[in-house]
Amino acid sequence: MDFSNMIFKIKMKHILYYAIFLLLIISCGNVKNKVRENTNGQLALVFNEQSSSTFFSDRIFGKVEMIPLETTDDCLIGRNPELLLDDHYFFICERQQQTVLRFDKSGKFINRIGRRGGGPGEFQGEIADFDIDPLIHSVEILASGGQILRYNYDGTFISSQNMDGFPQAFIKSGTSYWVNLGVSKLISDGRLLKISEDGTVIEKFLPLETDWFGFMDKNFTRCGDIISFKEAFNHTVYRITDDGPAETAIIDFGRYAFPKNMYGRNQFSVIDELNNKGWASIYRFLENERFVYLSFIVQQKGMDGIDGYFCHWLVNKNMGSSVLQIVMPDNPLFEMIDRSIQLTVGNDLVFMVNAQMLKECTDPFFNSANINKSSLSEDANPVIVKLKINDF
């Protein structure tokens, strides 16, 4: 994904006010690794951009497995795909064709799931989010208008329902849905909702007292029974429990932190402040029993500057150790690695890489896998990379 273009092409200040919400997906820094639990039992992480180390290395990861995804006219994967997986399949949300593609663990394309249209089993608008349930072999798609559609793994349509409002992201937990409505005064009594299968609102959480722009974001992540929820303009991460969201991690970004009173102020004044001092925003937060992985962006000079970078940060909760690496836009890994990363119960970090860039990659770590690079081309689908995390 061309994140460098997304961040650094913006020059006009009036465009900045709208672009900042769409551009929270680029680059970030590295830490003098401080990992601890605070008095409330929350994981407290302190970011220090002056310290950096190599993230993709034999010290951090053991086995490297690469799986090229089959490339045919029926399963082409464009920009900004989203990856989910279970023990047997990879599921790719394909934004250009507005469908979900299923591949087996060898990379062979199996079938499509869901499509845009006006007929039975089709959805209006675009895919805002999607989820899988490995226990019953189902895929659920949240369309941008608030419609949830359920399908079997083979693509057979099961049922659909409509939700009030305009949910931006969702995840299913047991027989309930957790839905993020984003930030708007229209839903000031709660931007995070717990909803029953029939669409009834059970409870509302995280009230808001002011109006902000809406934006699309991947808020929910799941690893086994652990469901995490984070927001682009908040450095607190929540774990979803039956009783509601519980703060599980707080990241101290120092001078890049968001103002504590930002929700009580005019959004334009907050954006001006962030543009002048710099800011950091969490892009992906993943947690299992042993590890936490998070990626985030840091923009040092505002949206019209050039000092943005991306960070990979991996924390070993048991050992109290961590590793964090800055990836600058001129680093080949910045463009090669897709930002849709997953952490498994078995301590694998799984993501996609651009096939042509992988073919040209000279990094010794990524060249350690046994893969036939001659079969990769500019038009090939991404390659799935699975890294086994060492107990560093």
pLDDT at 265: 81
Which has the minimum average pLDDT: 78-92, 185-199, 356-370?
Answer: 185-199
Q: Are strands 192-196 and 176-180 parallel, antiparallel or unpaired?
A: antiparallel
Distance, in Å, from the CA atom of 76 to the CA atom of 245, rounded to the nearest integer, reads 37
Total structural domains in the chain?
A: 1
Contact 250, 42 (CB under 8 A): yes
The amino acid at residue 46 is V
Calpha distance 160→149 (Å, rounded): 4
Task: Decide if pLDDT at 10 tops 50.
Answer: no
**pLDDT in the model for residue 185:** 62
The pLDDT of residue 41 is 78
Closest CA to 282 of 29, 19, 36, 8: 29
pLDDT score of 35:
64
Mean pLDDT to the nearest integer, 78-99: 95
Helices within 260-308 (DSSP H only): 267-277
CB 334 within 8 A of CB 4: yes
Model pLDDT, residue 17? 35
The mean pLDDT of 170-180, rounded to a whole number, is 92
pLDDT in tens, 178-188: 999 877 666 67
> What is the model's pLDDT at position 302?
53
Q: What pLDDT, in 10s, does the model give residues 101-146?
A: 999 999 999 999 999 998 989 998 899 999 999 999 999 999 988 8
pTM: 0.86
Give the CATH number for residue 89. 2.120.10.30
pLDDT at 78: 93
- The count of residues in the chain is 392
CA neighbor of 194 nearest in space, from 225, 227, 157? 227
pLDDT at 1: 38
- Alpha helix (H) residue ranges in the chain: 3-8, 13-19, 267-277, 332-336, 355-360
Strands in 61-68's sheet, in edge-to-edge order, are 61-68, 383-389, 348-353, 342-343
Q: Decide if pLDDT at 7 tops 90.
A: no
Residue with the larger pLDDT of the pair 31 and 258? 258
Please, what is the average pLDDT of the chain? 85
CB 130 within 8 A of CB 137: no
* pLDDT (average), residues 83-102: 96
> What range defines the domain where residue 292 resides?
3-389
Q: How far is CA 190 from CA 77, 201, 208, 209, in A?
A: 36, 11, 6, 10
Average the pLDDT over each of 93-102, 115-124, 186-195 and give the range with the smallest value: 186-195
pLDDT, residue 179, reads: 93
**What confidence tier does 300 reach under pLDDT thresholds 50, 70, 90?**
confident
Collapsing DSSP to helix, strand or coil, 149 comes out as: strand
- Cα–Cα nearest to 306, from 70, 9, 1: 9
Judge whether residue 24 has pLDDT over 60.
no
pLDDT at 174: 87
